[in-house]
Amino acid sequence: MRPFLEGGIGNPLALHSLGAAAGESLEASRVKVARLIAGSAAGLIFTSGATEANNLAIKGVPLRAGEGGRHVIVSAIEHISVINPCRDLEKRGIAVTYLPVDSEGRVDPDALRRAIRPDTALISIMAANGEIGTIQPVAELGRVAREHSIPFHVDGVGAVGRLALSVDEMGIDLATLSSNDLYGPPGAGAVWVRPGVKLLPQILGGGQERGFRAGTENLPAIVGMGVAAELVRTEWREETARLARLRDRLLTGLLASLPDSRLTGSRTHRLPHHASLCLRAVKADGVLMDLDFHGVAASSGSACASQTLEPSHVLRAIGSDPEEQEGSLCFTLGRWTTAAEIEAVLDLLPPIVNRLRALSPKALGRAAS
């Protein structure tokens, strides 16, 4: 990225040599990112991030379909950047079906089949949930969509680079990707669109990105995203196997050492880098502060929804009660996570939880009596 941050950068649409060089770099990055999902580069539209990409897909397809597409289907545990555009569609008179999930957070393909209507314009189901780690049966869901000739959108942010996603093999018509989830810079994302799928642009202007996303492209971030995509594509199999071993060690150790805890999400259909659980009789915010004091960064719920202060719609959808929702913890492992760090968390967390539980109003009340 350094030449694009430090030197003179041309506009990719300009006709002079600086513009031509910028255009070549832009298209080279397009090829690299599209290759991650085995898609054609011509179908990739760069955006400012995954939120914009999801908005373009969720709103762009049904609004372009007009009166023939007054219905959208999504799962109940989609990212907030899918849920909120759906709420906006509902204000415009478009019906949205929020498919329920089972206790592990999985969508039943038969439930999807039953929800389809003659005016269904779009089906959108994420590849994997970033809050509970559950992987969806994407290929099966894609077959259902293909049977009914309905465009199928997959938010692949949590899964791309960690699972094998192929747009053709899985019947995906639109796919969302994020740069920072690939270890690339923030400020870049993309939506891949199958040729023939019609979209209504959401940002109008100079006609960049084949007219689907106006505005001069953020070339430094896009170049960084392209490099990150190449690194992830060549290294993901070995890296995810390593992370899965660390994840299993962490989950097994925590569930064994923390009474009144349970796994959230699926144990078998799970992202290789993701560990999440709910604790009773303790609030997550206190646990997170204590962990952070010891240099451990964890979360409770989705980071992108943390400012809303609303209970997790994902945990509600899988049947967690309010007490479990308050004690939700999520650990995500990465390229620099070591086995020693896993052991450190296993040593740190149980005493933290036990101390906070002992200080809870219920525990203090029992002690006083």
Q: What is the largest CA-CA distance in the chain?
A: 82
Claim to verify: residue 240 and residue 227 sit in the same structural domain:
no
Catalytic residues: 304
First-residue to last-residue Cα distance in the chain: 64
Distance of alpha carbon 301 from alpha carbon 312, whole angstroms: 6
Structure token pair of residue 348: 């740190």
pLDDT of the residue at 138: 98
pLDDT of the residue at 360: 76
Claim to verify: residue 41 and residue 111 sit in the same structural domain:
yes
Claim to verify: residue 221 and residue 241 sit in the same structural domain:
no
Coil, strand, or helix at residue 325?
helix
Distance of alpha carbon 234 from alpha carbon 44, whole angstroms: 20
Claim to verify: residue 215 and residue 289 sit in the same structural domain:
no
Claim to verify: residue 110 and residue 218 sit in the same structural domain:
yes
pLDDT of the residue at 336: 95
Domain of 107: which CATH number? Answer: 3.40.640.10
Claim to verify: residue 213 and residue 267 sit in the same structural domain:
no
Residue corresponding to tokens 């915010």: 285
Which of 232, 257, 291 terminates a domain? The answer is: 232
Domain of residue 169: give its range. Answer: 2-232
Task: Convert the pLDDT of each residue in 339-367 to its tens digit.
Answer: 999 999 999 999 999 999 998 766 555 55
pLDDT of the residue at 309: 54
Claim to verify: residue 72 and residue 105 sit in the same structural domain:
yes
Task: Walk along the chain (369 residues) and give the pLDDT tens digit of each residue.
Answer: 998 888 778 888 888 988 888 899 999 999 999 999 999 999 999 999 999 999 999 999 999 998 889 999 999 999 999 999 999 999 999 999 999 999 999 999 999 999 999 999 999 999 999 999 999 999 999 999 999 999 999 999 999 999 999 999 999 999 999 999 999 999 999 999 999 999 999 999 999 999 999 999 999 999 999 999 999 999 999 999 999 999 999 999 999 999 999 999 999 999 999 999 999 999 999 999 999 999 999 999 744 545 555 778 999 999 999 999 999 999 999 999 999 999 999 999 999 999 999 987 665 555 555
Claim to verify: residue 283 and residue 208 sit in the same structural domain:
no
pTM of the model: 0.94
How far from 16 is each of 19, 31, 210, 360, 362, CA to CA, in Å?
Answer: 5, 23, 20, 67, 71
CB-based contact 336:345 (threshold 8 Å): no
Coil, strand, or helix at residue 104?
coil
Phi, psi of 330 (to 5 degrees): -140, 130
Residue 151 contacts by C-beta under 8 Å, 6 or more apart in sequence? 61, 121, 122, 123, 145, 173, 174, 194, 197
pLDDT of the residue at 98: 98
pLDDT of the residue at 112: 98
Claim to verify: residue 108 and residue 215 sit in the same structural domain:
yes
Distance of alpha carbon 94 from alpha carbon 79, whole angstroms: 19
Distance of alpha carbon 345 from alpha carbon 174, whole angstroms: 38
Claim to verify: residue 79 and residue 121 sit in the same structural domain:
yes
Claim to verify: residue 226 and residue 284 sit in the same structural domain:
no
Coil, strand, or helix at residue 305?
helix
CB-based contact 163:135 (threshold 8 Å): yes
Domain of 293: which CATH number? Answer: 3.90.1150.10
- How many domains are there within the chain? 2
Q: Quickly list H helices, the chain.
A: 2-6, 17-35, 50-65, 80-91, 109-115, 138-147, 219-257, 284-293, 313-317, 322-326, 339-358, 361-368
Claim to verify: residue 299 and residue 153 sit in the same structural domain:
no
Crossing angle, helix 80-91 and helix 50-65, to 10 degrees? 30
